[in-house]
Structure 1
């Protein structure tokens, strides 16, 4: 069962999210009311996925996301906000969020995002995906391409092949089918690639796109 932690300074929002998640068969193992509670709660409860509000009083969700993903055996973080501005989306992705959803997303979209991130895949809302890709396109082409290629040169041939498929938006199961590999093998190669580069799945896809 997927273990989920909810971080939001509004108790009603936490209750609403808890209800949706538990009715869908997900296990809400912890809650936090502010970003300064995140690290200790993650260490105590070991969630697979953290739903992270971005606007909180003491420590905002961007800083809390960066702290959470820096932990050993880090959870996947899905940033959630009522204000899906370009800066909020990009800040969350750069901090290490594996997903980004607006708080008005439907229950099915929320649950699908949690399951996707728990499986090691990304979960960007359509608007977030557009913003991220526009950011890639706006970087100085030659410099961005060179930097990305230098990073990707650290990967093995198979890891690069899988990274390219990730950038196409393929799931692990689809990549396994294309490359005639087991899904577990795909996950292993992907985990090695992201660990070596210090990125998550979303950031790996951005690197591949930037490298051309």
Structure 2
């Protein structure tokens, strides 16, 4: 009797976009050594990255921010618009790079420093490919601080149907997400199960038409759905 083959898992297809050849080479060496990840192409500028994204349809794009010609912000915005199947992780040298924050607003799903370790890089790629976001806690807190300075908390626009569609509990969960709490921390704070929080998060993203948790944070600050509280 012939053996029945088990289900196969397709590798996560990654496109590298960075104007520095050595940086691309370094990331390729790291990723080529990992199971479940395949580097499908490299681009040295944003415009070439967009063209390759259209033809290769990668699952994840590792995108440098500062590049000659078309930078990572413009490229990310076009990829988010034209290649919705591809998720972008922004790469930067500085954790307070405002260009990188702008790329997040343009549609990126993650934000990593270029000195990220192999384990965190792989975990971030897997998270983003699975529809989640990838921002280290240190960068996440800095991002929230930047937003809190530029987008003062107020009251949601009463004419915003998307915000009005949220239940009181969903608004509370969104505020907690904006404060940097994980699902586990939200569950502890609200005395509910983590699976219940995940359900709330999924409904929030669906109702607001958001790609992932990163954009939920941005939305919350822009609509005054945060009290600016922080974890210690």
TM-score tier, shorter chain, comes to 0.7 to 0.9
Match of 1:170 in 2: 183
Match of 1:21 in 2: 31
Match of 2:19 in 1: 9
The one-character-per-residue Cα deviations of 1:50-74 (angstroms, maximum 9, x if unpaired) are 0001111111111111111112433
Greater CA drift, 154-163 or 39-48: 154-163
Q: Distance in 2 between matches of 1:158 and 1:7?
A: 41
> Would you say 1:67 and 2:78 are equivalent positions?
yes
Q: Distance in 2 between matches of 1:151 and 1:206?
A: 17
SS state at 2:82 partner: coil
Please tell me the root mean square deviation across aligned C-alpha atoms, in Å. 3.1
What is the number of equivalent residue pairs in this alignment?
203
Any stretches of 5+ residues in structure 1 without a counterpart?
none
Q: Distance in 1 between matches of 2:177 and 2:77?
A: 22
Greater CA drift, 76-85 or 133-142: 133-142
Q: 1:2 to 1:92 in 2, by over 3 A?
A: same
Residue 126 of structure 1: CA displacement? 3.2
- Whether contact under 8 Å (1:159, 1:189) holds in the other structure is no
Q: 1:149 to 1:133 in 2, by over 3 A?
A: farther
Q: 1:27 to 1:164 in 2, by over 3 A?
A: farther
SS state at 1:153 partner: helix
Q: 1:200 to 1:148 in 2, by over 3 A?
A: farther
Match of 1:38 in 2: 49
Any stretches of 5+ residues in structure 2 without a counterpart?
1-10, 188-192, 227-232
- Whether contact under 8 Å (1:86, 1:131) holds in the other structure is no
Larger Rg: 2
Residue 169 of structure 1: CA displacement? 2.4
Structure having the larger proportion of residues in helix: 1
Q: Distance in 2 between matches of 1:193 and 1:27?
A: 33
Residue 191 of structure 1: CA displacement? 5.8
Identify which of 104, 110, 113 aligns with 2:115: 104
Give the structure-2-normalised TM-score: 0.73
